[in-house]
Homo-oligomer: A and B are copies of this chain.
């Protein structure tokens, strides 16, 4: 049965740009599970009220509703064990750290480079919600969050050193093959790729080289995604 996923979309309904939703798109593709995505906007709380909360991704798999990208990944692994996203309880436990690092460090770093650009791509119905909620969260205007990014991007790229160390030693974050760790980081990097023309990675960075390979995985799922800047 096809899994239904509510997926954050922009003014262009084909523009899908949530880093959390992209993690699950990659996870579903990894498992070869068909998915039907439903475009969703930040303010459309009614459309996902059935999940008991107000954020995406939300999936519906038959009678089962799951929200929160990490919980969805755990659900998919338990329900559809192969191909594995984790493959062992210890691998899953370790991936939780990578997920937490992506949420705390990677997302926060990217936000300060592209938040104003996102404002340009969100649906008009979401514009004032997006500006108000993000300006409250960051304590500054959207314009201020990405001011000086041309110089600040160097520190952001430096903060990716742990990824760089790993990807110099092994082809995928999951080792010899992609795992959910690859979905987490690539999913997060789909966010700037889809929303902004600003290059968060240097082309010659091993992280960028790995990301290009991830874009071509799963039949080019990431490569084919609509980009606002294209």
Residues of A within 8 A of B (CB): 84, 86-98, 100-101, 103-105, 161-163, 165-166, 169-170, 172-176, 179, 181
Contact = CB atoms under 8 A, between A and B. Distances in A.
A97 B175 contact: no
B165 A93 contact: no
A101 B162 contact: yes
29 contacts: A86-B90, A88-B88, A88-B90, A89-B175, A90-B179, A93-B166, A93-B170, A93-B174, A93-B175, A93-B176, A93-B179, A93-B181, A94-B173, A94-B179, A97-B97, A97-B98, A97-B162, A97-B163, A97-B173, A97-B181, A98-B98, A100-B161, A100-B162, A100-B163, A103-B165, A104-B162, A104-B165, A105-B105, A105-B162
Contacts of A175: 89-90, 92-93
B96 A170 contact: yes
A92 B97 CA distance: 13
Contacts of A161: 100, 104
Name which of A90, A101, A103, A161 has the most chain B CB atoms within 10 A of its CB. Answer: A90
Given A87-B88, A88-B87, A88-B88, A93 B162 contact: no
Given A88-B87, A89-B176, A165 B100 contact: yes
